[in-house]
A = this chain, B = another copy of it.
Amino acid sequence: MSNSIKLAILGLGTVGTGVINLINDNLDELKRRSGRDIIITEVGTRRQRDDIDATIIQNSDLMATAASDNVDIVIEVIGGTTLAKDVIMHAIKHGKHVVTANKALLAEHGNEIFAFAEAHNVHVAYEAAVAGGIPIIKVMREALAANKIDWLAGIINGTGNFIMTEMRDKGRPFADVLQEAQELGYAEADPTFDVEGIDAAHKLALLASIAFGIPLQFDKVYCEGITGITLQDVNYAEELGYRIKHLGFAVRRDGQGNADAAGIELRVHPTLIPQEALLANVNGVKNAVLVNSHPLGQTLYCGDGAGAGATASAVMADVMDLVRVLGSKDRDDQNNTGHHVPHLAFIPEQLSDTPILRAEQMTTGYYLRVHAYDSPGVLADITRILSDAGINIDAILQKPAHKVGQVPVIILTLPVVESQMNLAIEKIEKLDTITDKVVRIRLDELE
């Protein structure tokens, strides 16, 4: 076939090797779909590898590969935010299209990278950066392009979902499951990015930008991990018909007439959701994103959020899109952004400065676990405080005392602004009958 497409892969870890394997396995499908030959001409790798086809140049100078005349598309799968950034900027400068799976880099430096790419009339594609093999970037940028997106909620960290699933299914405590996840290779030796929600926050920043047409604002994502979730809370939630999942939310709030309350909530936190919701039944390392948009309504996208095969699938989907760009007649003059999808879904000059709300401004339902001495009137005191703060109780569960004289009271509330809840909890904790800090977990009906 004419006009072969020349790829460079920078980094030969799990994902880089997965891309090579995919091309070996599916070259016939790739050619039948694109009408072009797809060739890896060069790989950037520090260490020479003897398991790579001899026709592929192995170059330990990654910057040279990123700028090579022998390359149309540069695939960056090194990871990290230093060398990866350098090679991407270098590739862009030399007119190469870039495909990357690097969520941390884009969440933190995406505005700069995309602007640089636009200035050089090339594209930086990043389907693999969010939810692995689930094509959520393409879906939101293209398939939902005619919708106004109201909110999205996603299980976007497989390790966290694995841990929450095992805790519930097997009744195992957090630390125990985390150790298994590390042994299985799902969690890193340093699991901070996964269990503290930072990885999810990176992905949420990307999703929110393409949902609402706002610049990337990773630093404004409210982020809460799963390290504080106990089996006790998992079980109470189930008893009340809910399940605790670690979710990322991006929500557009119109402020209901109050301009100060209008803006976007970006938050990552454990959340009680109804057991019967499909999202509650996405288990193990699977990822899923639920998008609510007008006029489409709710759509759900589910699949593997990590792993060599899923990530390679997303990387090569981006390559196939770029093959069409490279196949256009005006290849020599690529200043034709009119027919390409904008990096952040909306054209750059149309990105909006809608404010990101602070945590205290965010509105969610709550699960509260309050420990009190079993004295008359304690329930009346708590409910009066909540009522005075304008907080509506949706359900209440008082369990028999598990220590002598002490009973946990579980309360589910309707949505309330966090600042209101903060004040109410402060008052509850000052009651003489309350023996511990109030445990709170957010709750969402996904409606």
Contact = CB atoms under 8 A, between A and B. Distances in A.
A46 interface: no
Given A301-B301, A303-B299, A347 B25 contact: no
Interface stretch (A115-123, A127-135, A151-159, A438-446): A127-135
Nearest to A312: B295
A364 to B, nearest CB: 24
A260 B161 CA distance: 44
A21 interface: yes
A55 interface: no
A83 interface: no
Interface in A225-281: 276, 278, 281
A296 interface: yes
Contact of A278 (B127, B302, B330): B302
A437 interface: no
Interface in A391-414: none
Contact of A35 (B278, B298, B350): B350
Interface residue tally on A, bucketed by range: 35 or more
Nearest to A29: B148
A47 interface: no
A147 B303 contact: no
A295 B25 contact: yes
A173 interface: no
Best-buried of A133, A304, A308, A352 by chain B (most CB within 10 Å): A133
Contacts of A302: 278, 299-302
A338 interface: yes
Contacts of A31: 350
Contact of A33 (B32, B276, B317, B347): B347
Given A144-B313, A296-B133, A328 B327 contact: no
Q: State how many copies of this chain the complex holds.
A: 2
A312 B143 contact: no
A295 B148 contact: no
Contacts of A308: 295
B146 A32 contact: no
A35 B320 CA distance: 24
A350 B32 contact: yes
B299 A133 contact: yes
B299 A300 contact: no
A309 interface: yes
A342 interface: yes
A320 B141 CA distance: 10
Interface of A: 3, 18, 21-22, 25-26, 29-36, 127, 133-135, 138-139, 142-148, 213, 276, 278, 281-282, 293-304, 308-310, 312-317, 319-321, 324-330, 333, 336, 338-342, 345-347, 350, 352
16 contacts: A26-B147, A26-B148, A32-B350, A32-B352, A33-B342, A133-B296, A133-B297, A142-B321, A144-B313, A146-B315, A146-B319, A296-B313, A298-B303, A299-B303, A324-B341, A329-B336
Per CB-CB distance, the 8 closest pairs between chain A and chain B, nearest first, are A327-B338, A295-B309, A135-B143, A146-B316, A299-B303, A324-B339, A32-B350, A328-B339
